[in-house]
Amino acid sequence: MDFGFSREEVLFRDSVREFGERYVKPHWIELDEGKYSLLDLIPRLAEHGLVGLTISSRYGGSEGSFLMAAIAAEELAKADPSLAVPVYFLLETAWPFIVQRYAKDSVKEEVLPRLVKGEAWIGIASTEPQGGSDVAGERTEAKFVNGKWLVTGEKSMVTGVSIALKLPYGGGFVTITRTGPLEARHRAITTFLLMVKRNGVVNEGIETREWDEWGRHGIPTNYLKLNNTPVDPDFILGEVNNGFKIAMEGFNVARTIIGAASIGSAMWLLEQGREWIKQRVVFGKPIASYQSISFKYAELHARLEAAKLMVYKAAWLADKFYSGDPAVSISDVAAAGAMAKMLAVEAAVDTGLEVMKWFGGMSYFRETPIARALLGILSYYVGAEGTQNIMRLIIARQVIGREVE
Ligand SMILES: Cc1cc2nc3c(=O)[nH]c(=O)nc-3n(C[C@H](O)[C@H](O)[C@H](O)COP(=O)(O)OP(=O)(O)OC[C@H]3O[C@@H](n4cnc5c(N)ncnc54)[C@H](O)[C@@H]3O)c2cc1C
């Protein structure tokens, strides 16, 4: 067992840290206030090999590992604790990886080189108005008509549709559709890379609007309605009626990187808290001298450290699985990803709430940016890429068995 990073990983961490300090940190508040656009940062992220980190060099990618992805997400979140930039990074790591794994060669050759250059977007369109947790019960329908798939339905929360529509090439979403009766559940789910814009041309039957979010304003989440939206048969991922497993693979790795991003944001929060409690004097002493504060600090520090180790372990297991290690199964990767997200996000939310209390009344005003980080982390606490209860369900299935259902 080795708890240290390799020399290559240390160099990579330092280079992302420097990138974050230089290009992200100066803009994170403007980004969160809508005064600076993520579109201005995407080319820089691409130049640094941070778009599609795990993509093969065949398509111009950096061939990074999931452990490197976790390292990068943590560092980017220290520079943008409201999480807009880390969310962009993690979506463009997890979902293009799935496209690389399951799309036809012609599709990969067309889209992935554009993605790594920051000219295209690949996200996930899963959640529907009747409940995002039950992916096997999704209703968006795909019908094969005259040599094309036509997709109709509603996807209620889809991060990045507006960005995909603004990028020069455009982009698509790993879209979960039904290709058989509802009763067939996951056995009738097919996954497509549904392009909302391809080669500069917006697809037909697309209706979208941005939600007005409480936090992480630097990256929009949209409502997306599809009305007979055509999908070229080449853009199917894997096989018809076999898409459920494909989507789950994407969620597994996305959750691990979310864990890393939440840890990075929480570490920034704790660092702000540390500086503050050492210099804030109340009743004649720095508030760090009160054990109700210093013990809580110690506890949060330990929880973040433990959650971070779980994140690294989940990333390490994903790397083992995808490099063909027979000792690691996909359910090990799924359970570890769920544990990483559950522990990291909950430790991060508790850190945000506690640090806000340490800052007292001033934490409630925009001049103190603590709440921006907490609101970003909350997106993962309430839902994005699976709720905290669903993380518990995945873990329980793995450690107790199917009886939990
Ligand atoms: C900022 C943001 C960005 C997002 N981006 C995307 C995106 O890009 N693509 C996308 O597809 N989705 C996206 N989502 C949606 C997200 O994935 C869903 O919110 C999530 O999957 C939960 O779905 P739901 O909100 O419909 O909640 P529901 O499924 O309706 O669940 C409601 C509550 O019931 C609980 N619950 C449900 N089933 C069970 C059960 N079996 N046992 C115990 N408790 C249960 C849940 O934990 C939750 O607390 C985003 C969400 C947010 C907040």
Q: What is the pLDDT along the chain (405 residues), one digit of tens a residue?
A: 889 999 999 999 999 999 999 999 999 999 999 999 999 999 999 999 999 999 999 999 999 999 999 999 999 999 999 999 999 999 999 999 999 999 999 999 999 999 999 999 999 999 999 999 999 999 999 999 999 999 999 999 999 999 999 999 999 999 999 999 999 999 999 999 999 999 999 999 999 999 999 999 999 999 999 999 999 999 999 999 999 999 999 999 999 999 999 999 999 999 999 999 999 999 999 999 999 999 999 999 999 999 999 999 999 999 999 999 999 999 999 999 999 999 999 999 999 999 999 999 999 999 999 999 999 999 999 988 899 999 999 999 999 998 887
312 alpha carbon to ligand 1 midpoint, in Å? 25
Neighbours of 391 (CB within 10 A): 23
Which residue's CA is the nearest one to ligand 1's atom 24?
Answer: 132
Distance CA 155, CA 127 (A): 6
Task: Report whether residue 382 contacts ligand 1, using a CB cutoff of 6 Å.
Answer: yes
Task: Report whether residue 131 contacts ligand 1, using a CB cutoff of 6 Å.
Answer: yes
Task: Report whether residue 393 contacts ligand 1, using a CB cutoff of 6 Å.
Answer: yes
Classify 146 in phi/psi space as left (phi over 0), alpha (psi -120 to 50) or beta.
left
Query: Which of 98, 121, 133 for a ligand 1 pocket mutation test, highest count of atoms within 8 Å of Cβ?
Result: 133
129 alpha carbon to ligand 1 midpoint, in Å? 10
Distance CA 401, CA 405 (A): 9
Pair of tokens at residue 30: 């403007």
Distance CA 117, CA 96 (A): 13
Task: Report whether residue 221 contacts ligand 1, using a CB cutoff of 6 Å.
Answer: yes
User: Which domains occur in the chain, in start order?
Assistant: 7-116 (1.10.540.10), 121-241 (2.40.110.10), 244-404 (1.20.140.10)
8 alpha carbon to ligand 1 midpoint, in Å? 37
Query: Which of 387, 389, 405 for a ligand 1 pocket mutation test, highest count of atoms within 8 Å of Cβ?
Result: 387
Task: Report whether residue 396 contacts ligand 1, using a CB cutoff of 6 Å.
Answer: no
Task: Report whether residue 224 contacts ligand 1, using a CB cutoff of 6 Å.
Answer: no
131 alpha carbon to ligand 1 midpoint, in Å? 7
383 alpha carbon to ligand 1 midpoint, in Å? 4
- Give, in order, the Cα–Cα distances in Å from 219 to each of 1, 39, 124, 172, 213: 38, 10, 14, 16, 10
Q: Which atom of ligand 1 is found nearest the CA of 133?
A: 29
Query: Which of 157, 211, 346 for a ligand 1 pocket mutation test, highest count of atoms within 8 Å of Cβ?
Result: 157
Which residue's CA is the nearest one to ligand 1's atom 18?
Answer: 383
385 alpha carbon to ligand 1 midpoint, in Å? 7
123 alpha carbon to ligand 1 midpoint, in Å? 16
Q: For residues 76 and 264, is the Cβ–Cβ distance under 8 A?
A: yes
Q: Which atom of ligand 1 is found nearest the CA of 213?
A: 1
The answer for residues whose C-beta is within 8 angstroms of residue 260's C-beta and 6 or more apart is 69, 70, 71, 73, 74, 77, 90, 308, 311, 315, 340, 344
Distance separating the N- and C-terminal Cα atoms of the chain: 35
Q: What pLDDT score was predicted for residue 403? A: 86
- Give, in order, the Cα–Cα distances in Å from 203 to each of 120, 133, 169, 367: 14, 28, 12, 42
Buried b (16+ CB within 10 A) or exposed e, 287-323: bbeeeebeebbeebbebbeebbebbbbbbbbbbbbbe
The answer for residues whose C-beta is within 8 angstroms of residue 328's C-beta and 6 or more apart is 317, 320, 321
Which residue's CA is the nearest one to ligand 1's atom 16?
Answer: 384
172 alpha carbon to ligand 1 midpoint, in Å? 21
Task: Report whether residue 231 contacts ligand 1, using a CB cutoff of 6 Å.
Answer: no
Task: Report whether residue 164 contacts ligand 1, using a CB cutoff of 6 Å.
Answer: no
Q: What pLDDT score was predicted for residue 1? A: 83
Q: Which atom of ligand 1 is found nearest the CA of 91?
A: 8
One-letter-per-residue 3-state SS of the chain: CCCCCCHHHHHHHHHHHHHHHHHHHHHHHHHHCCCCCHHHHHHHHHHCCCCCCCCCHHHCCCCCCHHHHHHHHHHHHHHCCCCHHHHHHHHHHHHHHHHHHHCCHHHHHHHHHHHHCCCEEEEEECCCCCCCCCHHHCCCEEEEECCEEEEEEEEEEEECHHHHHHCCCEEEEEEEEECCCHHHHHHHEEEEEEEEEECCEECCCEEEEECCCCCCCCCCEEEEEEEEEEECHHHEECCCCCHHHHHHHHHHHHHHHHHHHHHHHHHHHHHHHHHHHHHCEECCEEHHHCHHHHHHHHHHHHHHHHHHHHHHHHHHHHHHHHCCCCCCCHHHHHHHHHHHHHHHHHHHHHHHHHHHHHCHHHHHCCCCCHHHHHHHHHHHHHCCCCCHHHHHHHHHHHHCCHHHC
Which residue's CA is the nearest one to ligand 1's atom 15?
Answer: 384
Distance CA 123, CA 304 (A): 28
Q: Which atom of ligand 1 is found nearest the CA of 389?
A: 47
